[in-house]
Amino acid sequence: MFNKRFTLAAVAAALAAFGAQAKELRSADVHNSDDYPTVAAVKYMSQVLEQKSGGKYKIKVFNKSALGTEKETLDQVKIGALDMNRVNISSLNSICPKSLVPTMPFLFSSIEHMRHVLDGPVGEEILKGCEHEGLVGLAFYDSGARSIYAKKPVRTLADAKGMKIRVQPSDLWVAVAAAMGANATPMPTGEVYTALKTGLIDAAENNIPSYEGFKHYEAAKVYSKTMHSMAPEMLVISKAVFDKLPKADQDLFRAAAKESVAFQRKKWDEQEAKALEIVTKGGAQIVSDVDQASFKAAMAPVYAKFINTPDLQRLVKAAQDTK
């Protein structure tokens, strides 16, 4: 009798433990380093979420493009085949018009200005702007300032003329390169290193941590601080997945994502300084005397083409007016 009772108790305990196991959500990221700020931030969010939910939820991050390119994983998230994704906001431009706003060249005057805008009502409106496409925005992550790197300095607009520059697969980025007088070559991040090495492209543009993390500084030694964009990263969750959660649990996800933003920003600032040191020691030349005004002046046609509705114009003005 004792053995029978003991066995039943053990089975009941095992079933209870099984029922209490955390639901594991999968999140994708293309960055190679397990400690890259966005990768580390989603891992941190998982820890916060697990604590806030009493062990009910956790997140597993698949970086290094393990689940596909940003476009491929985004398509999976839209239909609920993948739970979450960290993407550069440019990947959303063709499906979420409001995502164009923080992507626009020279919109932000500084990193601090960018953070202030995205933490406020403009950012909140943009986060909600993709729900019609099956994507719920949870947070913005820093992606620093993007600049051009090549085998020669790009100090003025004239220096960019005729260069084959890799851009993100986005109509906006093709237009930005064209406004510089360059020839845009859209391609996934994973193909850039070989394209630089073989001469398929003359240049690319990205932030310092990506320039270092993807080893692009080995193939393009001159990083010219055009700082033409401060387009953020965006963490999204599938609406199909999110809508199945109780409202209280949705609030937990939003709160955990918000906590991860401060963590990511601190991590980003540290990573940027570290990456700058690595590329400099690796022989990269950092060009700071760039005529940014000439690049900025050339972007008027880009704004005219893409910020073409009263709604987008209102958001751009609100961002510019944010102090």
pLDDT digits (tens, 9 = 90+) for 90-123: 899 999 999 999 999 999 999 999 999 999 999 9
Looking at the domain covering 146-230+277-305, what would its CATH class be?
alpha beta
- Tell me the residue ranges of DSSP E strands in the chain: 23-28, 57-62, 84-88, 135-141, 146-150, 164-167, 183-186, 203-206, 222-229, 233-238, 285-287
**Which residues make Cβ contacts (< 8 Å) with residue 15, sequence separation at least 6?**
none
User: What one-character-per-residue DSSP string does 171-187 give?
Assistant: HHHHHHHHHTT-EEEE-
**Dist. CA 272–CA 274, nearest whole Å:** 5
**Which residues make Cβ contacts (< 8 Å) with residue 99, sequence separation at least 6?**
89, 90, 92, 93, 126, 129, 130, 234
**Dist. CA 287–CA 225, nearest whole Å:** 6
pLDDT of residue 205: 98
- Long-range CB contact pairs, 278-281, < 8 A, 24+: 278/212, 279/208, 279/211, 279/212, 279/217, 279/223
Average pLDDT value over all residues in the chain: 93
pLDDT of residue 10: 43
232 pLDDT higher than 80: yes
**Dist. CA 160–CA 154, nearest whole Å:** 6
Domain ranges of the chain: 22-143+232-275, 146-230+277-305
> Are 137 and 243 contacting, i.e. CB atoms less than 8 angstroms apart?
no
CB atoms within 10 A of CB 148: 29
Measured N-to-C along each axis, helices 247-281 and 37-52 cross at an angle, to the nearest 10 degrees, of 150
| pLDDT tens column, 204-230 | 999 999 999 999 999 999 999 999 999
Q: Which CATH architecture has domain 22-143+232-275?
A: 3-Layer(aba) Sandwich (3.40)
136 pLDDT higher than 60: yes
pLDDT tier, 170 (very low <50, low <70, confident <90, very high otherwise): confident
> Are 268 and 209 contacting, i.e. CB atoms less than 8 angstroms apart?
yes
Domains 22-143+232-275 and 146-230+277-305 share a fold: yes
Average pLDDT over residues 45-51: 98
26 pLDDT higher than 50: yes
Give the three-state DSSP class for 62.
strand
| pLDDT tens column, 243-284 | 999 999 999 999 999 999 999 999 999 999 999 999 999 999
